[in-house]
Structure 1
Amino acid sequence: MAVLDAAELCFPLLHNSSCRKPLAHWSEAVLVNILLSFISLTTAALNLLVIISVSHFRKLHTPTNNLLLSLAVSDFLVGLVSMPVAIYKKTSCWALGDLVCTLYNYLSYIITSASVGNMVFISVDRYMAICDPLHYPGRVTVTRVRVCVCVCWLGSLLHSTYILVDDLVQPGRHHVCSGECVIVVNYVAGTVDLVVTFATPIAAIFVLYSQVFVVAVSQARAMRSHVHGVRTRLTAKSSELKAAWTLGVLVLVFLMCFCPYYCVFLVGGDLLNVSSEFYLLFLFYSNSCLNPLIYALFYPWFKKALRIIVTLQILRDSSSEANVL
């Protein structure tokens, strides 16, 4: 029995302080790892294509696309860092040390906060484009959007520092045994995090998109009725209406992946076992894989840019001037 117990420990030589290895059926563990690893790789690859597309082609350097670029960066980091390490934590003992554990949790919080901030800015962008179209070109410029993106990432950095300040000062202070990587947030910091990254953004997105869709539906009806004197002005805004519906799908999918994780912890996260918590977290992460698929379905420019990238036409000197709209 002593040999069996030692075999189940992460570090048999540290018998008194070692965690136990995660237990799972071999075939199930292999199948889950292959599936989740494929999702992780797909997430990183698809979002990298979005980043290349928006960054390379000049025609795509619009305010809205700059917000999509920022979102793609956070989604790319999810596929490159958050997903693989989450799989590693679920299936193996943590052997990378307390400092790496703290840095991973810190980066994950930054990515999550930035994703939420990007979604709020996307909602604001669509609100101004649809509800205040006359002032939109003058108020929403590429330079101002880039400043907002920088503020978003800086705010995410400061927020994550506040939430994890104890672990940043003393990495591994909450670890009860060797071989684990956990994060413990005190009540006050947890409440602030819930308000900043869940309650307030959800409320803002809901209010903004409620107004957007009320206006979008009324304009769509007016376009179908062919009101004299209004038809030309409304037709000119059809691209904005289409963008509003597309980004509305983006936000809806985000909420479907985002809300279950926070809602379960809000009503009683202590009742979850480790596996349930992991799969809820991966549901949240899977939103990063769905976003570029939404672009591929609804944005013709992404399909055109993807064709140029895959066929290596992007290597041509004048490829950045290609008309992908």
Structure 2
Amino acid sequence: MIKSFGQNLPELQLHLSSSHCLMEVDDGAELCFPQLLNTSCRKPTLPWQLHTPTNILLLSLAVSDFLVGLLLMPGEILRRTSCWFLGDLVCSLYKYLACIITFASVGDMVLISADRYVAICEPLHYPTRITMTRVKLCVCLCWLFSVFYSSLYLKDNVTQPDRYISCYGECVINIDYVAGAVDIVVTFIAPITVIIVLYMRVFAVAVSQARAMRSHITAVRLQRSVTPKAKKSELKAARTLGVLVFVFLICFCPYYCVSFAGDNVLSASSIAYVIYLPYFNSCLNPVIYALFYPWFKKAITQIVTFKILQPGSSEANIL
């Protein structure tokens, strides 16, 4: 019997060698240089925890919020509380950036609403319709269209910075009636209509799904333990983004209503508060994220405490 085992030993070694080679070939896809099987380093694998289509949209919105606090708020305070000493060119650039960032924020809210609509109303098609590539493309197109639209909207203010300035130390924005009416439709009425229609549909479907989950008590245990949890996560995300959109409407409606009715409706001090409201919305968005997203709190803690600089911080589980 020992002799028989010894006779089969070369065959066993050949089989193990073949399996080892096969394993190396399979692992070759993870190597930096697949042709160098034994000496090549492996490709680093990063845990893409937060890289989801919804979070890409939230990132775009967060960038616009950050730019509002970094650029627009200081410029608006300087423009309304003291003399403008930065020159006509900087004034023109400030107006241009203000239009781009504001319109990009509105576009992000529309994209977020569309994302939640597909996730809640058409969940089976969500992985194929809302992909990372498509979302990144939509975000890029949103910002590019904001640049293009702002160039048309502020054409005279950008090409001739000192055209509407009556004295030194002044930074004003002059928009004719037709351009103002088009701006209200493009940046307010049309986006709000789309957002309201989508969210009415989202919450109608969310309510029906909640009732269906409560009524299916006798469902299969696997479905009862997995499916409701996924649905609950989607409904929570829809509720959070619904609050986000609601706050957005509250902050932007007064500004556009005053713009449509004219400056003579309110006093100068009241108009100043109305103008600051859209910028204040950018301050509220991070607060909303912190209240409704636990992973956002953990991510902020990692950044503030500088734990993000420690080795292996990218592998930390914050979900």
Q: Please state if 1:63 is matched with 2:53.
A: yes
Q: Is the 8 A contact 1:223 1:235 kept in 2?
A: no
Question: Any idea what the Cα deviations from partners look like across 1:261-288, whole Å, max 9, x if unmatched?
Answer: 1012212333334322221111111000
Which residue of structure 1 lines up, in the alignment, with residue 190 of structure 2? 200
Q: Is the 8 A contact 1:57 1:319 kept in 2?
A: no
Counterpart amino acid of residue 283 in structure 2 = C
| Counterpart Cα distance in 1 of 2:253 and 2:197 | 16
> What's the RMSD between the two structures over aligned residues?
1.6
Q: TM-score, normalised by structure 1?
A: 0.80
| Counterpart Cα distance in 2 of 1:96 and 1:314 | 38
Counterpart amino acid of residue 313 in structure 1 = K
Choose which of 130, 134, 141 in structure 2 pairs with 1:151: 141
Choose which of 159, 167, 170 in structure 2 pairs with 1:177: 167
Q: Please state if 1:260 is matched with 2:254.
A: yes
Which residue of structure 1 lines up, in the alignment, with residue 81 of structure 2? 91
1:201-216 alignment, distance < 5 Å = 201-216=191-206
Q: Is the 8 A contact 2:68 2:101 kept in 1?
A: yes
| Counterpart Cα distance in 2 of 1:112 and 1:69 | 15
User: CA offset at residue 244 of structure 1?
Assistant: 0.3
Q: Please state if 1:313 is matched with 2:307.
A: yes
* Matched position secondary structure for 2:49: helix
* Matched position secondary structure for 2:124: coil
Q: Please state if 1:82 is matched with 2:82.
A: no
Question: Any idea what the Cα deviations from partners look like across 1:159-211, whole Å, max 9, x if unmatched?
Answer: 11000001111112111222111001122221221111001000000000000
Q: Please state if 1:138 is matched with 2:132.
A: no
User: CA offset at residue 58 of structure 1?
Assistant: 2.9
Counterpart amino acid of residue 127 in structure 1 = Y
Q: Is the 8 A contact 1:162 1:189 kept in 2?
A: no
Q: TM-score, normalised by structure 2?
A: 0.81
| Counterpart Cα distance in 1 of 2:306 and 2:88 | 43
Q: Please state if 1:322 is matched with 2:316.
A: yes
Please list every run of 5 or more consecutive structure 2 residues that lacks an aligned counterpart in the other structure.
1-45
Which residue of structure 1 lines up, in the alignment, with residue 35 of structure 2? none
| Counterpart Cα distance in 2 of 1:171 and 1:228 | 70
Question: Any idea what the Cα deviations from partners look like across 1:105-151, whole Å, max 9, x if unmatched?
Answer: 00000000000000000000000000000000111111111110000
Question: Any idea what the Cα deviations from partners look like across 1:239-264, whole Å, max 9, x if unmatched?
Answer: 11110000000000000101111012
Q: Is the 8 A contact 1:58 1:321 kept in 2?
A: no
Q: Is the 8 A contact 1:219 1:234 kept in 2?
A: no
1:153-302 alignment, distance < 5 Å = 153-229=143-219, 231=224, 232-302=226-296
Which residue of structure 2 lines up, in the alignment, with residue 28 of structure 1? none
Q: Is the 8 A contact 2:258 2:265 kept in 1?
A: no
Aligned length: 270
| Counterpart Cα distance in 2 of 1:280 and 1:91 | 15
User: CA offset at residue 226 of structure 1?
Assistant: 3.5
Question: Any idea what the Cα deviations from partners look like across 1:279-310, whole Å, max 9, x if unmatched?
Answer: 11111110001001001000011111122222
**Percent identity (aligned):** 65
Question: Any idea what the Cα deviations from partners look like across 1:5-52, whole Å, max 9, x if unmatched?
Answer: xxxxxxxxxxxxxxxxxxxxxxxxxxxxxxxxxxxxxxxxxxxxxxxx
Which residue of structure 1 lines up, in the alignment, with residue 26 of structure 2? none
Which residue of structure 2 lines up, in the alignment, with residue 9 of structure 1? none
Q: Is the 8 A contact 2:251 2:280 kept in 1?
A: yes
Counterpart amino acid of residue 169 in structure 2 = G
Give the greater-gyration-radius structure (CA).
2
Question: Any idea what the Cα deviations from partners look like across 1:211-235, whole Å, max 9, x if unmatched?
Answer: 0000111111222334443745343
Aligned structure 1 segments of 4 or more residues deviating by more than 6 angstroms: none
| Counterpart Cα distance in 2 of 1:154 and 1:275 | 35
After alignment, is 148-157 or 188-197 more displaced? Answer: 188-197
| Counterpart Cα distance in 2 of 1:228 and 1:163 | 59
After alignment, is 62-71 or 236-245 more displaced? Answer: 236-245
Counterpart amino acid of residue 242 in structure 1 = K
Please list every run of 5 or more consecutive structure 1 residues that lacks an aligned counterpart in the other structure.
1-55
* Matched position secondary structure for 2:123: coil
* Matched position secondary structure for 1:60: coil
